[in-house]
Amino acid sequence: MFSALPMKHINIKVLTDDLPSASVILAGLNSFSPDNRPYEESALPSIPGQDFRELYNQAKTRFDKIASLVDFTPAPFDGDVTPISEEQLAASNQWLGKAWETGSDFEERQRNLIESYRNIDQLKATLANFSNLTIDLGQLQQEQPFLDTLIGMVPTLRLSQLKDALSLDGYLLFPFLQGEKESHVVIVGAKQPGPSRLKSMLDTAGFRSQDIPPELHSSPETAKARLDERRTATERSEKELNEAIQKWRGEVLSDLERVARTLHLATPYMALGEAARQSGELSRLQGWVPARDLPRVTLALKEKLLDPFVLESRDPLPEERALVPSVMRHNRLLKPFSQLVMQYGVPRYGEVNPTHLFALTYILMFGMMFGDVGHGAVILGVSIWMRRKLGGFTPFGIAAGISSMLFGILYGSIFGFEHLFHPLWIAPLSDPLYMLGVALMWGIGFIFLASLLNIFNHLMQGDRLGALFGDNGLLSLSLYSGLLGTGYSLYANGSVGGLWATLAILSLVGIFAHKLIEQEAPIGERLLVAFIETFETITGYASNTLSFLRVAAFSLNHVALAIAVFTLAGMMGQTGHWITVVLGNVFILVLEGLIVAIQVLRLEFYEGFSRFYAGDGKAFKPLTL
Partner 1 sequence: MSAQRNHAYLKTRVSIYASRLVSPDDVERLKQMSLRQLGETYDLLPIFEQEITTRQKSGLVEQALIQQLMDELLVLLRPLSGHARGLLLYWPRKYELYNLKTLIRGKLHHLPMQEIRHNLYALPENIRLPHESLLQAENVLEMLRLLEQGPYSLIARQARLVFEEHHENFSLGAAIDRLYYTGMLARANMTDSKDTRGLKKAIGSMIDRQNILWMMRYRLVYHFAPSEAYYLLIPYGGQIQRNNLLELANLESLETIIDHLPEPFQSLLMGVAHITEVRQRLDRWVAHELHKLMRNSQDAVVSALCYLMIRDMDIWRLYAIFQSKLLEMDASLLHEAVPGTDDHSAVSHEEVA
CB atoms within 10 A of CB 256: 20
Cβ closest to partner 1, residue 102 vs residue 489: 102
Minimum distance of partner 1 from residue 201's CB (angstroms): 5
Tell me which amino acid residue 472 is.
N
Cβ closest to partner 1, residue 165 vs residue 449: 165
Residue 429 CA to residue 419 CA, distance in Å, equals 12
Secondary structure letter of residue 503 according to DSSP: H
Q: Which of 17, 107, 215, 471 touches partner 1 (CB under 8 A)?
A: 107
Nearest to 122 by CA among 153, 165, 82: 153
Q: Is the dihedral of CA 119, 124, 128, 130 positive or negative?
A: positive
Q: Please, how many CA atoms are within 13 Å of residue 52, restricted to the half-sphere of its CB? A: 23
Q: Which of 191, 197, 314, 329 touches partner 1 (CB under 8 A)?
A: 197
Minimum distance of partner 1 from residue 245's CB (angstroms): 16
Q: Which of 30, 45, 111, 322 touches partner 1 (CB under 8 A)?
A: 111
Q: Which of 157, 517, 582, 586 touches partner 1 (CB under 8 A)?
A: 157
Residue 63 CA to residue 71 CA, distance in Å, equals 11
Of 18-77, binders to partner 1 (CB under 8 A) are 58, 61-62
Cβ closest to partner 1, residue 65 vs residue 330: 65
Q: Which of 201, 460, 516, 549 touches partner 1 (CB under 8 A)?
A: 201
Nearest to 357 by CA among 548, 612, 154: 612
Q: Which stretch binds partner 1 (CB under 8 A): 150-158, 336-344, 471-479, 506-514?
A: 150-158
Q: Which of 165, 212, 440, 561 touches partner 1 (CB under 8 A)?
A: 165
Q: Which of 74, 155, 213, 615 touches partner 1 (CB under 8 A)?
A: 155
Minimum distance of partner 1 from residue 341's CB (angstroms): 28
Q: Which stretch binds partner 1 (CB under 8 A): 96-104, 223-231, 288-296, 318-326?
A: 96-104
Minimum distance of partner 1 from residue 62's CB (angstroms): 8
Cβ closest to partner 1, residue 204 vs residue 495: 204
Cβ closest to partner 1, residue 186 vs residue 382: 186
Cβ closest to partner 1, residue 153 vs residue 477: 153
Task: Give the number of residues in contact with partner 1, rule: CB under 8 A.
Answer: 29
Q: Which stretch binds partner 1 (CB under 8 A): 35-43, 104-112, 404-412, 569-577?
A: 104-112
Asked if 108 interacts with partner 1 (CB under 8 A), we say: yes
CB 442 within 8 A of CB 464: no
Give the Å distances, CA to CA, from 227 to 4, 177, 238, 320, 466. 69, 19, 16, 71, 79
Residue 466, Cα to own-chain centre: how many angstroms? 33
Minimum distance of partner 1 from residue 405's CB (angstroms): 47
Give the Å distances, CA to CA, from 546 to 150, 361, 449, 550, 604. 78, 17, 16, 8, 14
Residue 99 CA to residue 375 CA, distance in Å, equals 59
| 421: phi then psi, degrees, rounded to nearest 5 | -145, 160
Of 204-233, binders to partner 1 (CB under 8 A) are 204-206
Q: Please, how many CA atoms are within 13 Å of residue 474, restricted to the half-sphere of its CB? A: 9
Q: Of all helices (H) and strands (E), which one includes residue 165?
A: helix 159-168
Q: Which stretch binds partner 1 (CB under 8 A): 98-106, 399-407, 436-444, 453-461?
A: 98-106
Minimum distance of partner 1 from residue 66's CB (angstroms): 12
Residue 521 Rama label (left phi>0; alpha psi -120 to 50; beta): beta
Q: Which stretch binds partner 1 (CB under 8 A): 36-44, 136-144, 152-160, 377-385?
A: 152-160
By DSSP bridging, strand 282-290 and strand 33-34 are antiparallel
Cβ closest to partner 1, residue 205 vs residue 625: 205
Minimum distance of partner 1 from residue 101's CB (angstroms): 8
Give the Å distances, CA to CA, from 156 to 119, 124, 187, 200, 550. 17, 19, 15, 19, 58
Asked if 168 interacts with partner 1 (CB under 8 A), we say: yes
| Helix/strand/coil for 186 | strand
Binding site for partner 1 (CB under 8 A): 58, 61-62, 97, 100-101, 104, 107-108, 111, 155, 157-158, 161-162, 164-169, 181, 197, 200-201, 203-206
